[in-house]
Structure 1
Amino acid sequence: MIPTEPCPIVPVFVQIVQKSVQIRLKMYIHVMLDLLSDILTNLSMRGTLYFRTSFTKPWGVAVPSYENVARFHFAHRGSCLVKVDGLEEPLTLAQGDLVIIPHGASHDLYCGHEPERTAMPLDVVLEKSGFDGSGVLVHGGDEPQSETQLICGHFSFEPNSRHILMERLPPYIHLTNYGEDAGRWMEATLRVIGEEAGGRKMGGDLIALKMSEAILAQAIRSFIESSDAQEWALGAFSDKKLSRAMEAFHKAPAERWTVDLLAGAAGMSRTGFAVQFQKLMMMSPMEYVTSWRMEIAKKKLLQDKASLTDAAESAGYASDSAFTRAFKKETGQTPAEFRRENSLARS
């Protein structure tokens, strides 16, 4: 007998499957954000909004290079071209687009002319405009209908800090129609940043700055979720199983990690895990472990009252001698040489 009414079990089953998929997706995004949070926090990321613009044609600004800095430009209104040093073709930054320049390379922002002929150095633009760090940077020609409003900032990192993720990012990350693609919350965040940055309301710049820190993490996440990540040997971050193992390690880096334990955290066999990790990251799992442990040790060594043993234990080494050998192999310096050199630099 054929039922005349739909089976009530079917929609319930569909709802269960949909909910299961949503939970898995949320868990995966949570893992990725935890990884990013740990990495960016340990790299001592500090954000700075350095201007909001009102540029009118023709205009061009040559932004100099900086070490240990990731720059960003968000096109709040209008558009422009961005020419990153070392690359032949400029990219078009349309309204709503975001570009991250993760390695602090010099670049030109311009509209209406060729940058090599008329782009002015940033410090000259700041001087001529009378910009004092507050309000809006006004610059350009006499075509007000062509106004380009950019929100520009940078994130600085500790000079001695490094991580595979940041080092392997491409010369730029261009996220088109960023606010819409990233979701409603990001679209709202960008709108608030556009209204607050350089405004006259109390605390506006601080609000915009803190929100922009979330944007950097979101931008990096968007990149490593894309198909481009594997091309830059960052595929493990977007692999659900491998990223679980990486998160487990980052939560307890001083534990006695082995390939077997990492594979267990990933829910994979030892061989399958090692082969897949090497394929997607172009390095072995234990090379990744050692690299991050040395970054943790560096931070500990730069603390005033931390001993060599403290640094060794923070990196998961039971003896000072084993730690010293690993540290020198990874950095080219002994812990004592690293501490002495950086103490002099800071003083």
Structure 2
Amino acid sequence: MQDDGRGQMPKVGGIPDSMSDVLSLVRMRAEFVCANDFSAPWSLSFRRPVSHFHIVERGSAWLKPDDGNAIRIETGDLVILPLGAGHVLCSDPALNPLPADQALTNATTRHGSAYAFGGGGAQTHVVCGRFSFAGVLAPKLLKVLPALIHIEAQSGRPLEWMKLTSHFLVEETRYPKLGSAIAIARLLDLLFVEAVREWGARNPRNLGWLSGLADPAIGRALSAMHEEPARRWTVEALADLAGLSRSAFAARFSEVVGQTPLRYLAAWRLDLAADQLRAGVARIGEIAATIGYGSEAALTRAFKAQFNTTPAAFRRAGPTSDEKAPSGWIGADRA
């Protein structure tokens, strides 16, 4: 997701979008994607503590989380395990699984970049992949997401977004060509955003602080803070934007977001600062000015209180291992 350099996404049709502002600082990064042609009986275990996804291209399978019951997944279904939960993907939950790394190492390749594995019975085609989150808001988002998101293709209403995105993702993965790496990265970005939206629409009471983004009144205030982080916002001004009295706004904001408006604003400014420091372009004093701090010293004090390090030290540390761009990840890594 590309922002305008301040953590703010462009308006679509002039409408501010606080959800996109937040997700732009999550920065999902695809690490490995592969197409698989499984034939029964087959069973793979995924144990790496990273986020995974599976799209059933054709056929059906079982997915069993380590700490939950097996679920049936059918053609067109999407499963995302954002918290890195261990799980088994198989034709029959009674089978003993092989580690995915081992199984794919021994698999043969066919049809472009697809791996073939199994006993030669009923066919199931699945695109599997893993991803990580590099952005500063990722930990906050992961706190409210479930261990497993299952978006069913046959859910009682058409999900054209999933059908189209999955189709293009499958094609780019199964038949890679010039530009496939960036195409797959963008498609996964879109798939994740849409899956979170769909999950949130189906589970509005489980959104935690994200529920503020869906609340019309609170959403207007959030969008305003995202759009103008340097402005000297007051609770009164935000309440006017929300169309509520000061007391009603303050109470409602704290209820749905989990913190007061000005505490949220302070945390948002520091998240923006961390994101810009990671980018390594602007000077610390310039960052301070763009997010509402009067001086570099003021930003440094607030930043150290929030992140237990100074902006300069945070920038020098550079990206973490999870943030470094992977290379050759389409069909090159077996996991």
Q: TM-score, normalised by structure 1?
A: 0.77
- Asked whether 1:217 is paired with 2:198, we answer no
- Aligned residue for 1:42? 25
Query: Once the 2 structures are TM-superposed, how far is the Cα of residue 57 of structure 1 from its aligned partner?
Result: 1.6
- Aligned residue for 2:264? 288
Q: Could you give the per-residue CA deviations for residues 227-254 of structure 1, whole angstroms, max 9, x where no partner exists?
A: 3444644321221222222222222222
Go from structure 1 to structure 2 and tell me whether the alpha carbon gap of 1:46 and 1:75 turns closer, same or farther (over 3 Å shift).
Answer: same
Question: For residues 152 and 36 of structure 1, what CA distance do their matches in structure 2 show?
Answer: 27
Bigger Cα Rg: 1
Answer whether contact 1:59 1:110 (CA < 8 A) is retained: yes
- Aligned residue for 1:102? 82
- Aligned residue for 1:73? 54
Answer whether contact 2:144 2:207 (CA < 8 A) is retained: no
Q: Could you give the per-residue CA deviations for residues 252-283 of structure 1, whole angstroms, max 9, x where no partner exists?
A: 22222232232222222222222122222222
Answer whether contact 2:293 2:299 (CA < 8 A) is retained: yes
Go from structure 1 to structure 2 and tell me whether the alpha carbon gap of 1:219 and 1:344 turns closer, same or farther (over 3 Å shift).
Answer: closer
Which of 45, 49, 70 is equivalent to 1:90?
A: 70
- Aligned residue for 1:253? 229
RMSD, aligned CA: 3.3
Report the 3-state secondary structure (helix = DSSP H, G, I; strand = E; otherwise coil) of the residue aligned with 2:294: coil
- Aligned residue for 2:37? 54
Question: For residues 31 and 186 of structure 1, what CA distance do their matches in structure 2 show?
Answer: 24
Question: For residues 283 and 179 of structure 2, what CA distance do their matches in structure 1 show?
Answer: 40
Question: For residues 132 and 29 of structure 1, what CA distance do their matches in structure 2 show?
Answer: 45
Answer whether contact 1:297 1:314 (CA < 8 A) is retained: no
Unaligned 5+ runs, structure 2: 1-10, 325-335
Question: For residues 343 and 148 of structure 1, what CA distance do their matches in structure 2 show?
Answer: 38
Question: For residues 223 and 47 of structure 1, what CA distance do their matches in structure 2 show?
Answer: 20
Q: Could you give the per-residue CA deviations for residues 153-189 of structure 1, whole angstroms, max 9, x where no partner exists?
A: 3443226553633432111211122687454344233
Go from structure 1 to structure 2 and tell me whether the alpha carbon gap of 1:42 and 1:61 turns closer, same or farther (over 3 Å shift).
Answer: same
Identity across aligned pairs (percent)? Answer: 30
Question: For residues 228 and 344 of structure 1, what CA distance do their matches in structure 2 show?
Answer: 33
- Aligned residue for 1:137? 115
How many pairs does the alignment contain?
Answer: 313
Go from structure 1 to structure 2 and tell me whether the alpha carbon gap of 1:338 and 1:73 turns closer, same or farther (over 3 Å shift).
Answer: same
Go from structure 1 to structure 2 and tell me whether the alpha carbon gap of 1:287 and 1:107 turns closer, same or farther (over 3 Å shift).
Answer: farther
Answer whether contact 2:239 2:245 (CA < 8 A) is retained: yes
RCO comparison, higher one (Cα < 8 Å, 6+): 2
Query: Once the 2 structures are TM-superposed, how far is the Cα of residue 297 of structure 1 from its aligned partner?
Result: 0.8
Question: For residues 29 and 90 of structure 1, what CA distance do their matches in structure 2 show?
Answer: 43
- Asked whether 1:123 is paired with 2:105, we answer no
- Counterpart amino acid of 2:79? V
- Counterpart amino acid of 1:126? L
Report the 3-state secondary structure (helix = DSSP H, G, I; strand = E; otherwise coil) of the residue aligned with 2:84: coil
Answer whether contact 2:77 2:150 (CA < 8 A) is retained: yes
Go from structure 1 to structure 2 and tell me whether the alpha carbon gap of 1:190 and 1:300 turns closer, same or farther (over 3 Å shift).
Answer: closer
- Aligned residue for 1:19? none
In the TM superposition, what are the counterparts of 1:163-174 in structure 2 within 5 Å?
164-174=140-150
Answer whether contact 2:40 2:123 (CA < 8 A) is retained: yes
